[in-house]
Protein backbone atom coordinates (compact mmCIF):
# COMPACT_ATOMS: atom_id res chain seq x y z
CA UNK A 1 0.00 0.00 0.00
CA UNK A 2 1.46 3.35 -0.94
CA UNK A 3 1.54 5.99 1.76
CA UNK A 4 -0.53 9.19 1.51
CA UNK A 5 -0.33 11.73 4.32
CA UNK A 6 -1.79 15.17 4.75
CA UNK A 7 -0.99 18.30 6.71
CA UNK A 8 -4.24 20.08 7.48
CA UNK A 9 -3.72 23.58 8.90
CA UNK A 10 -6.55 26.05 9.34
CA UNK A 11 -5.45 29.22 7.52
CA UNK A 12 -6.36 31.46 10.44
CA UNK A 13 -2.87 32.79 11.20
CA UNK A 14 0.81 32.25 10.55
CA UNK A 15 2.11 28.80 11.35
CA UNK A 16 4.75 28.35 14.06
CA UNK A 17 7.41 25.79 14.82
CA UNK A 18 4.85 23.54 16.56
CA UNK A 19 2.60 23.41 13.47
CA UNK A 20 5.65 22.75 11.38
CA UNK A 21 6.55 19.78 13.56
CA UNK A 22 3.30 18.20 12.33
CA UNK A 23 3.98 19.14 8.71
CA UNK A 24 7.50 17.73 8.90
CA UNK A 25 6.50 14.49 10.62
CA UNK A 26 4.12 13.92 7.70
CA UNK A 27 6.62 15.02 5.07
CA UNK A 28 9.44 12.85 6.46
CA UNK A 29 7.08 9.91 6.77
CA UNK A 30 6.07 10.32 3.12
CA UNK A 31 9.70 10.74 2.00
CA UNK A 32 10.80 7.68 3.93
CA UNK A 33 8.06 5.52 2.41
CA UNK A 34 8.08 7.00 -1.09
CA UNK A 35 4.57 8.32 -0.47
CA UNK A 36 2.72 11.49 -1.31
CA UNK A 37 1.87 14.54 0.79
CA UNK A 38 -1.33 16.57 0.58
CA UNK A 39 -1.55 20.12 1.90
CA UNK A 40 -5.17 20.46 2.94
CA UNK A 41 -6.41 23.82 4.10
CA UNK A 42 -9.09 23.30 6.77
CA UNK A 43 -10.80 26.56 5.91
CA UNK A 44 -14.42 25.79 6.72
CA UNK A 45 -14.39 28.56 9.35
CA UNK A 46 -15.09 31.28 6.78
CA UNK A 47 -14.99 34.11 9.29
CA UNK A 48 -11.43 33.38 10.43
CA UNK A 49 -9.85 31.74 7.38
CA UNK A 50 -7.96 34.01 4.98
CA UNK A 51 -6.35 33.33 1.62
CA UNK A 52 -3.32 35.40 2.63
CA UNK A 53 -2.67 32.99 5.51
CA UNK A 54 -3.03 30.00 3.19
CA UNK A 55 -0.53 31.61 0.80
CA UNK A 56 1.87 32.32 3.65
CA UNK A 57 1.60 28.72 4.91
CA UNK A 58 2.41 27.43 1.42
CA UNK A 59 5.38 29.81 1.21
CA UNK A 60 6.61 28.80 4.68
CA UNK A 61 6.46 25.11 3.79
CA UNK A 62 8.27 25.77 0.53
CA UNK A 63 11.05 27.59 2.37
CA UNK A 64 11.41 24.59 4.69
CA UNK A 65 11.65 22.23 1.71
CA UNK A 66 8.18 20.70 2.02
CA UNK A 67 6.74 20.41 -1.52
CA UNK A 68 3.15 19.13 -1.46
CA UNK A 69 2.09 16.79 -4.24
CA UNK A 70 -1.44 18.10 -4.02
CA UNK A 71 -3.20 21.09 -2.45
CA UNK A 72 -6.86 21.01 -1.40
CA UNK A 73 -9.25 23.46 0.25
CA UNK A 74 -11.98 22.01 2.45
CA UNK A 75 -14.21 24.95 1.60
CA UNK A 76 -14.37 23.68 -1.98
CA UNK A 77 -15.52 20.24 -0.90
CA UNK A 78 -18.83 21.24 0.68
CA UNK A 79 -20.89 19.00 -1.62
CA UNK A 80 -18.99 15.90 -0.44
CA UNK A 81 -19.51 16.90 3.20
CA UNK A 82 -23.23 17.49 2.61
CA UNK A 83 -23.59 14.10 0.90
CA UNK A 84 -21.92 12.33 3.82
CA UNK A 85 -24.09 14.17 6.35
CA UNK A 86 -27.18 13.22 4.39
CA UNK A 87 -26.15 9.59 4.28
CA UNK A 88 -25.66 9.56 8.06
CA UNK A 89 -29.03 11.26 8.60
CA UNK A 90 -30.75 8.67 6.40
CA UNK A 91 -29.32 5.84 8.44
CA UNK A 92 -30.24 7.54 11.73
CA UNK A 93 -26.61 8.00 12.74
CA UNK A 94 -26.80 11.79 12.65
CA UNK A 95 -29.67 13.07 14.77
CA UNK A 96 -31.04 16.54 15.51
CA UNK A 97 -30.71 18.04 18.99
CA UNK A 98 -32.33 21.23 20.24
CA UNK A 99 -30.72 21.78 23.64
CA UNK A 100 -29.24 25.15 24.46
CA UNK A 101 -25.79 25.38 26.06
CA UNK A 102 -27.47 26.20 29.42
CA UNK A 103 -29.69 23.12 29.25
CA UNK A 104 -26.72 20.91 28.50
CA UNK A 105 -24.75 22.40 31.37
CA UNK A 106 -27.63 21.86 33.79
CA UNK A 107 -27.92 18.22 32.76
CA UNK A 108 -24.19 17.73 33.05
CA UNK A 109 -24.29 18.95 36.66
CA UNK A 110 -27.19 16.62 37.47
CA UNK A 111 -25.33 13.65 36.05
CA UNK A 112 -22.23 14.55 38.03
CA UNK A 113 -24.28 14.84 41.24
CA UNK A 114 -25.67 11.35 40.56
CA UNK A 115 -22.11 10.10 40.01
CA UNK A 116 -22.86 9.37 36.38
CA UNK A 117 -20.25 10.15 33.72
CA UNK A 118 -20.89 13.70 32.42
CA UNK A 119 -21.68 12.59 28.88
CA UNK A 120 -24.63 13.55 26.74
CA UNK A 121 -27.63 11.33 27.65
CA UNK A 122 -29.09 11.24 24.12
CA UNK A 123 -32.29 12.91 25.33
CA UNK A 124 -32.87 14.30 21.81
CA UNK A 125 -33.31 10.76 20.49
CA UNK A 126 -36.49 10.54 22.55
CA UNK A 127 -38.09 13.59 20.95
CA UNK A 128 -41.30 12.90 19.10
CA UNK A 129 -41.82 14.52 15.69
CA UNK A 130 -44.35 16.99 17.16
CA UNK A 131 -41.84 18.13 19.77
CA UNK A 132 -39.26 18.77 17.07
CA UNK A 133 -41.82 20.69 15.03
CA UNK A 134 -42.68 22.76 18.10
CA UNK A 135 -39.03 23.65 18.69
CA UNK A 136 -38.63 24.67 15.06
CA UNK A 137 -41.81 26.76 15.29
CA UNK A 138 -40.18 28.55 18.27
CA UNK A 139 -37.30 29.39 15.96
CA UNK A 140 -34.89 26.85 17.39
CA UNK A 141 -32.54 25.27 14.89
CA UNK A 142 -31.07 21.83 15.58
CA UNK A 143 -27.44 20.94 15.90
CA UNK A 144 -26.63 17.38 14.84
CA UNK A 145 -24.88 14.64 16.77
CA UNK A 146 -23.25 11.45 15.56
CA UNK A 147 -24.66 8.36 17.30
CA UNK A 148 -21.58 6.54 18.57
CA UNK A 149 -21.74 2.74 18.20
CA UNK A 150 -21.37 2.12 21.94
CA UNK A 151 -24.50 0.01 22.59
CA UNK A 152 -25.96 -3.33 21.54
CA UNK A 153 -29.63 -2.58 20.79
CA UNK A 154 -30.72 0.22 23.07
CA UNK A 155 -28.83 3.54 22.67
CA UNK A 156 -29.73 4.38 26.28
CA UNK A 157 -27.95 1.26 27.49
CA UNK A 158 -24.36 2.05 26.53
CA UNK A 159 -21.69 -0.55 27.09
CA UNK A 160 -17.91 -0.47 27.09
CA UNK A 161 -16.89 -0.37 23.42
CA UNK A 162 -13.15 -0.34 22.88
CA UNK A 163 -11.60 1.13 19.78
CA UNK A 164 -7.99 0.11 19.29
CA UNK A 165 -5.35 1.45 17.02
CA UNK A 166 -1.62 0.99 16.77
CA UNK A 167 -0.44 4.57 16.85
CA UNK A 168 2.52 5.25 14.55
CA UNK A 169 4.00 7.45 17.30
CA UNK A 170 2.57 6.25 20.62
CA UNK A 171 2.11 2.53 20.05
CA UNK A 172 -1.09 0.61 20.95
CA UNK A 173 -3.97 2.88 22.04
CA UNK A 174 -7.42 2.15 23.39
CA UNK A 175 -10.41 4.46 23.68
CA UNK A 176 -13.79 3.49 25.14
CA UNK A 177 -16.64 4.94 23.08
CA UNK A 178 -18.98 4.65 26.05
CA UNK A 179 -16.88 7.21 27.92
CA UNK A 180 -17.67 10.03 25.49
CA UNK A 181 -20.61 12.08 24.30
CA UNK A 182 -21.98 11.73 20.81
CA UNK A 183 -19.96 14.40 19.02
CA UNK A 184 -21.73 17.35 17.42
CA UNK A 185 -20.90 17.29 13.71
CA UNK A 186 -23.15 20.09 12.46
CA UNK A 187 -23.84 23.41 14.20
CA UNK A 188 -27.21 25.19 14.46
CA UNK A 189 -26.31 27.38 11.49
CA UNK A 190 -25.66 24.30 9.35
CA UNK A 191 -21.87 24.70 9.35
CA UNK A 192 -19.66 21.72 10.09
CA UNK A 193 -17.34 21.27 12.99
CA UNK A 194 -13.94 19.94 12.04
CA UNK A 195 -14.68 16.20 12.48
CA UNK A 196 -16.96 15.27 9.58
CA UNK A 197 -15.22 17.25 6.81
CA UNK A 198 -11.87 15.91 7.97
CA UNK A 199 -13.01 12.28 7.85
CA UNK A 200 -14.83 12.71 4.53
CA UNK A 201 -11.78 14.36 2.97
CA UNK A 202 -9.38 11.77 4.38
CA UNK A 203 -11.53 9.09 2.72
CA UNK A 204 -11.90 10.86 -0.62
CA UNK A 205 -8.25 11.89 -0.85
CA UNK A 206 -7.07 8.36 -0.03
CA UNK A 207 -5.18 9.34 3.11
CA UNK A 208 -3.47 6.28 4.58
CA UNK A 209 -1.81 7.91 7.62
CA UNK A 210 -3.14 10.75 9.75
CA UNK A 211 -0.19 12.16 11.68
CA UNK A 212 -1.00 15.08 13.97
CA UNK A 213 -0.57 16.52 17.46
CA UNK A 214 -1.54 14.50 20.52
CA UNK A 215 -4.27 17.03 21.35
CA UNK A 216 -6.32 14.95 18.89
CA UNK A 217 -5.90 11.55 20.58
CA UNK A 218 -9.34 11.54 22.18
CA UNK A 219 -11.00 12.59 18.91
CA UNK A 220 -9.54 9.59 17.19
CA UNK A 221 -11.87 6.99 18.72
CA UNK A 222 -14.97 8.84 17.48
CA UNK A 223 -13.33 9.52 14.13
CA UNK A 224 -12.54 5.84 13.59
CA UNK A 225 -16.22 5.09 14.31
CA UNK A 226 -17.17 7.76 11.78
CA UNK A 227 -14.89 6.31 9.10
CA UNK A 228 -16.65 2.98 9.61
CA UNK A 229 -20.12 4.55 9.59
CA UNK A 230 -19.27 6.04 6.21
CA UNK A 231 -18.34 2.59 4.94
CA UNK A 232 -14.59 3.05 5.00
CA UNK A 233 -11.68 1.48 6.84
CA UNK A 234 -9.95 3.99 9.10
CA UNK A 235 -6.42 5.06 8.14
CA UNK A 236 -3.45 4.57 10.44
CA UNK A 237 -3.01 7.30 13.06
CA UNK A 238 0.02 8.87 14.70
CA UNK A 239 -0.07 11.50 17.45
CA UNK A 240 3.12 13.35 18.29
CA UNK A 241 3.81 15.37 21.42
CA UNK A 242 3.27 19.12 21.26
CA UNK A 243 5.78 21.92 21.71
CA UNK A 244 5.40 24.58 24.36
CA UNK A 245 7.29 27.79 25.15
CA UNK A 246 10.15 27.57 27.67
CA UNK A 247 7.64 28.53 30.38
CA UNK A 248 5.31 25.71 29.37
CA UNK A 249 2.57 27.61 27.54
CA UNK A 250 1.16 26.22 24.31
CA UNK A 251 2.40 27.84 21.13
CA UNK A 252 -0.30 29.78 19.37
CA UNK A 253 -0.72 31.15 15.88
CA UNK A 254 -0.85 34.50 17.64
CA UNK A 255 2.67 34.18 19.17
CA UNK A 256 4.03 36.05 16.16
CA UNK A 257 7.71 36.10 17.05
CA UNK A 258 7.91 32.33 16.76
CA UNK A 259 6.09 32.15 13.45
CA UNK A 260 7.96 30.53 10.57
CA UNK A 261 7.58 33.76 8.63
CA UNK A 262 9.33 35.68 11.43
CA UNK A 263 12.12 33.09 11.79
CA UNK A 264 12.71 33.21 8.03
CA UNK A 265 12.80 36.99 8.09
CA UNK A 266 15.20 36.95 11.05
CA UNK A 267 17.68 35.11 8.83
CA UNK A 268 17.56 31.60 10.30
CA UNK A 269 18.53 28.71 8.05
CA UNK A 270 15.57 26.56 7.15
CA UNK A 271 17.44 23.39 8.14
CA UNK A 272 18.06 24.83 11.62
CA UNK A 273 14.29 25.30 12.02
CA UNK A 274 13.60 21.87 10.52
CA UNK A 275 16.16 20.07 12.69
CA UNK A 276 14.84 21.60 15.88
CA UNK A 277 11.16 21.20 14.96
CA UNK A 278 11.63 17.48 14.33
CA UNK A 279 14.26 16.38 16.85
CA UNK A 280 13.20 18.32 19.93
CA UNK A 281 11.24 16.14 22.33
CA UNK A 282 12.54 12.90 20.83
CA UNK A 283 15.18 10.46 22.03
CA UNK A 284 17.45 11.63 19.17
CA UNK A 285 20.16 14.22 19.84
CA UNK A 286 19.18 17.67 18.57
CA UNK A 287 21.81 18.36 15.91
CA UNK A 288 21.78 20.18 12.60
CA UNK A 289 20.74 17.76 9.87
CA UNK A 290 22.15 18.37 6.38
CA UNK A 291 18.91 17.81 4.45
CA UNK A 292 15.37 16.51 4.71
CA UNK A 293 16.36 13.48 2.63
CA UNK A 294 19.06 12.54 5.13
CA UNK A 295 16.65 13.11 8.02
CA UNK A 296 14.01 10.94 6.35
CA UNK A 297 16.36 7.94 6.22
CA UNK A 298 16.61 7.76 10.00
CA UNK A 299 13.22 9.29 10.80
CA UNK A 300 11.43 7.30 13.47
CA UNK A 301 8.23 8.94 14.74
CA UNK A 302 8.09 6.51 17.67
CA UNK A 303 11.21 8.13 19.15
CA UNK A 304 9.05 11.10 20.29
CA UNK A 305 8.48 11.32 24.00
CA UNK A 306 4.93 11.23 25.33
CA UNK A 307 5.13 14.54 27.17
CA UNK A 308 5.22 18.03 25.71
CA UNK A 309 8.62 19.38 24.70
CA UNK A 310 9.84 22.89 25.50
CA UNK A 311 10.94 24.94 22.53
CA UNK A 312 13.86 27.19 23.43
CA UNK A 313 14.73 29.73 20.69
CA UNK A 314 18.33 29.76 22.02
CA UNK A 315 18.71 26.21 20.70
CA UNK A 316 17.84 27.53 17.28
CA UNK A 317 20.80 29.93 17.44
CA UNK A 318 23.17 27.08 18.26
CA UNK A 319 21.92 24.97 15.35
CA UNK A 320 21.96 27.95 13.04
CA UNK A 321 25.62 28.67 13.80
CA UNK A 322 26.53 25.02 13.21
CA UNK A 323 24.93 25.19 9.78
CA UNK A 324 26.16 28.63 8.73
CA UNK A 325 29.76 27.76 9.62
CA UNK A 326 29.70 24.97 7.03
CA UNK A 327 27.77 26.61 4.19
CA UNK A 328 29.64 26.73 0.89
CA UNK A 329 29.86 30.01 -1.01
CA UNK A 330 27.68 28.80 -3.92
CA UNK A 331 24.83 28.10 -1.52
CA UNK A 332 24.82 31.58 -0.03
CA UNK A 333 26.03 33.74 -2.94
CA UNK A 334 22.59 35.03 -3.90
CA UNK A 335 21.73 35.87 -0.31
CA UNK A 336 25.07 37.64 0.16
CA UNK A 337 24.47 39.64 -3.00
CA UNK A 338 21.04 40.62 -1.69
CA UNK A 339 22.62 42.27 1.38
CA UNK A 340 25.25 44.14 -0.56
CA UNK A 341 28.21 41.78 -0.85
CA UNK A 342 29.70 42.18 -4.34
CA UNK A 343 29.78 38.50 -5.26
CA UNK A 344 31.49 39.36 -8.57
CA UNK A 345 34.51 40.63 -6.62
CA UNK A 346 37.34 38.06 -6.87
CA UNK A 347 37.71 38.21 -3.08
CA UNK A 348 34.08 37.31 -2.38
CA UNK A 349 34.43 33.54 -2.08
CA UNK A 350 37.59 33.77 0.04
CA UNK A 351 35.89 36.41 2.14
CA UNK A 352 32.93 34.13 2.89
CA UNK A 353 35.18 31.21 3.81
CA UNK A 354 37.12 33.43 6.21
CA UNK A 355 34.22 35.14 7.93
CA UNK A 356 31.49 32.45 8.04
CA UNK A 357 32.72 31.11 11.37
CA UNK A 358 32.22 34.58 12.84
CA UNK A 359 28.62 35.22 11.90
CA UNK A 360 25.41 34.03 13.49
CA UNK A 361 23.35 34.53 10.35
CA UNK A 362 24.39 34.60 6.71
CA UNK A 363 23.15 38.17 6.32
CA UNK A 364 25.52 39.35 9.09
CA UNK A 365 28.29 38.93 6.52
CA UNK A 366 27.28 42.33 5.11
CA UNK A 367 28.92 44.08 8.09
CA UNK A 368 32.17 42.24 7.52
CA UNK A 369 32.06 42.98 3.81
CA UNK A 370 31.81 46.67 4.64
CA UNK A 371 34.68 46.33 7.12
CA UNK A 372 36.89 44.62 4.53
CA UNK A 373 36.03 46.71 1.50
CA UNK A 374 35.18 50.10 2.96
CA UNK A 375 36.31 51.02 6.45
CA UNK A 376 36.81 49.57 9.90
CA UNK A 377 33.81 49.47 12.21
CA UNK A 378 33.69 51.79 15.17
CA UNK A 379 32.87 49.24 17.86
CA UNK A 380 36.32 49.28 19.50
CA UNK A 381 38.89 52.09 19.78
CA UNK A 382 42.59 52.21 20.61
CA UNK A 383 43.41 53.62 24.00
CA UNK A 384 46.47 54.78 25.95
CA UNK A 385 49.82 53.42 24.80
CA UNK A 386 48.18 51.27 22.18
CA UNK A 387 47.85 54.12 19.73
CA UNK A 388 51.59 54.84 19.58
CA UNK A 389 52.30 51.11 19.62
CA UNK A 390 49.96 50.47 16.67
CA UNK A 391 51.54 53.27 14.63
CA UNK A 392 54.99 51.80 15.20
CA UNK A 393 53.70 48.31 14.35
CA UNK A 394 52.10 49.46 11.08
CA UNK A 395 55.46 50.85 10.00
CA UNK A 396 56.86 47.34 10.32
CA UNK A 397 54.49 45.71 7.80
CA UNK A 398 56.76 43.48 5.67
CA UNK A 399 57.42 44.64 2.12
CA UNK A 400 55.93 42.91 -0.89
CA UNK A 401 52.59 41.37 -1.64
CA UNK A 402 50.35 40.50 1.31
CA UNK A 403 49.76 36.77 1.49
CA UNK A 404 49.21 33.87 3.88
CA UNK A 405 52.61 34.25 5.50
CA UNK A 406 52.39 38.02 6.04
CA UNK A 407 50.83 37.96 9.51
CA UNK A 408 53.50 35.59 10.87
CA UNK A 409 56.32 37.72 9.48
CA UNK A 410 54.72 40.94 10.62
CA UNK A 411 54.15 39.82 14.20
CA UNK A 412 57.75 38.51 14.53
CA UNK A 413 59.05 41.88 13.42
CA UNK A 414 56.69 43.69 15.82
CA UNK A 415 57.65 41.41 18.69
CA UNK A 416 61.39 42.00 18.20
CA UNK A 417 60.96 45.73 17.87
CA UNK A 418 58.48 46.36 20.69
CA UNK A 419 58.84 43.41 23.04
CA UNK A 420 55.03 42.98 23.03
CA UNK A 421 53.52 39.55 22.63
CA UNK A 422 50.15 37.76 22.78
CA UNK A 423 47.05 39.85 23.20
CA UNK A 424 48.99 43.07 23.84
CA UNK A 425 50.62 42.58 20.48
CA UNK A 426 47.68 41.60 18.30
CA UNK A 427 44.62 43.29 19.82
CA UNK A 428 45.62 46.87 18.95
CA UNK A 429 46.29 45.71 15.38
CA UNK A 430 42.96 43.95 15.19
CA UNK A 431 41.19 47.06 16.42
CA UNK A 432 43.07 49.33 14.02
CA UNK A 433 42.32 47.03 11.08
CA UNK A 434 38.70 46.11 11.79
CA UNK A 435 37.35 48.43 14.47
CA UNK A 436 36.29 45.35 16.42
CA UNK A 437 37.89 43.40 19.23
CA UNK A 438 36.89 40.01 17.83
CA UNK A 439 36.44 38.46 14.44
CA UNK A 440 38.14 36.21 11.92
CA UNK A 441 41.85 35.35 12.14
CA UNK A 442 43.84 38.47 11.26
CA UNK A 443 46.17 36.27 9.21
CA UNK A 444 43.21 35.47 6.93
CA UNK A 445 41.92 39.03 6.77
CA UNK A 446 45.19 40.60 5.64
CA UNK A 447 45.22 39.13 2.11
CA UNK A 448 41.59 40.23 1.67
CA UNK A 449 42.48 43.80 2.66
CA UNK A 450 45.69 44.06 0.60
CA UNK A 451 48.72 46.21 1.25
CA UNK A 452 47.32 49.60 0.40
CA UNK A 453 44.18 49.18 2.49
CA UNK A 454 46.17 47.88 5.47
CA UNK A 455 48.50 50.86 5.40
CA UNK A 456 45.54 53.16 4.92
CA UNK A 457 44.26 51.93 8.30
CA UNK A 458 47.37 52.99 10.17
CA UNK A 459 45.89 54.93 13.09
Kind of pairing, strands 184-186 and 143-146?
Answer: antiparallel
Cβ–Cβ < 8 Å for 221, 163:
yes
Q: How far is the CB of 10 from ligand GLU (least distance, A)?
A: 5
Q: How far is the CB of 42 from ligand GLU (least distance, A)?
A: 3
Q: Please say which residue, 196 or 295, places its beta carbon nearer to ligand GLU.
A: 196
Q: How far is the CB of 43 from ligand GLU (least distance, A)?
A: 9
Q: Is 275 left (phi over 0), alpha (psi -120 to 50) or beta?
A: alpha
Interior angle at CA 132, CA 127 and CA 137, nearest 5: 155
Calculate the CA 283 to chain-centre distance.
19
Q: Number of H helices and number of E strands within the chain? A: 19, 12
How many Cα atoms are found within 13 Å in the side-chain-facing hemisphere of 304? Answer: 29
Q: Is 332 left (phi over 0), alpha (psi -120 to 50) or beta?
A: alpha
Q: How far is the CB of 229 from ligand GLU (least distance, A)?
A: 17
Q: Residue numbers of the site for ligand GLU (CB under 6 A)?
A: 8-10, 42, 194, 198, 210, 212, 216
> Which residues lie closer than 8 Å to 125 by C-beta, 6 or more apart?
95, 147, 155, 156
Q: Which helix (H) or strand (E) holds 426?
A: helix 422-434
Q: How far is the CB of 293 from ligand GLU (least distance, A)?
A: 24
Distance CA(378)–CA(385), nearest Å, equals 19
Q: Please say which residue, 43 or 386, places its beta carbon nearer to ligand GLU.
A: 43
Distance CA(59)–CA(67), nearest Å, equals 10
Q: How far is the CB of 173 from ligand GLU (least distance, A)?
A: 15
Q: How far is the CB of 21 from ligand GLU (least distance, A)?
A: 12
40 has which bridge partners? 72
Q: Please say which residue, 63 or 194, places its beta carbon nearer to ligand GLU.
A: 194
Please state the φ and ψ torsions of residue 118, each to the nearest 5 degrees.
-80, 55
Q: How far is the CB of 338 from ligand GLU (least distance, A)?
A: 34
Cβ–Cβ < 8 Å for 107, 116:
no
Distance CA(99)–CA(145), nearest Å, equals 12
Amino acid sequence: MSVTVRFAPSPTGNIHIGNVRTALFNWLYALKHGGSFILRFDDTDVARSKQEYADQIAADLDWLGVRPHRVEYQSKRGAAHDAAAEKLKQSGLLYPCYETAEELERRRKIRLSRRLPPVYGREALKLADEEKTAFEAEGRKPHWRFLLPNFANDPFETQRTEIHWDDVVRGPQTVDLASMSDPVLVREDGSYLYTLPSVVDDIDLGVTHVIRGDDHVTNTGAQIALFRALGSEAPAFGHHNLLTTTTGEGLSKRSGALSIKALHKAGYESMAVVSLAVLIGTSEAVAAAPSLEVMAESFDPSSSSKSAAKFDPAELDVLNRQIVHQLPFETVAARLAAVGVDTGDPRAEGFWTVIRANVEKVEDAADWWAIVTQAPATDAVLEGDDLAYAREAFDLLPDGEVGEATWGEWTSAVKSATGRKGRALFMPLRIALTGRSSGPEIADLLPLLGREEILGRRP
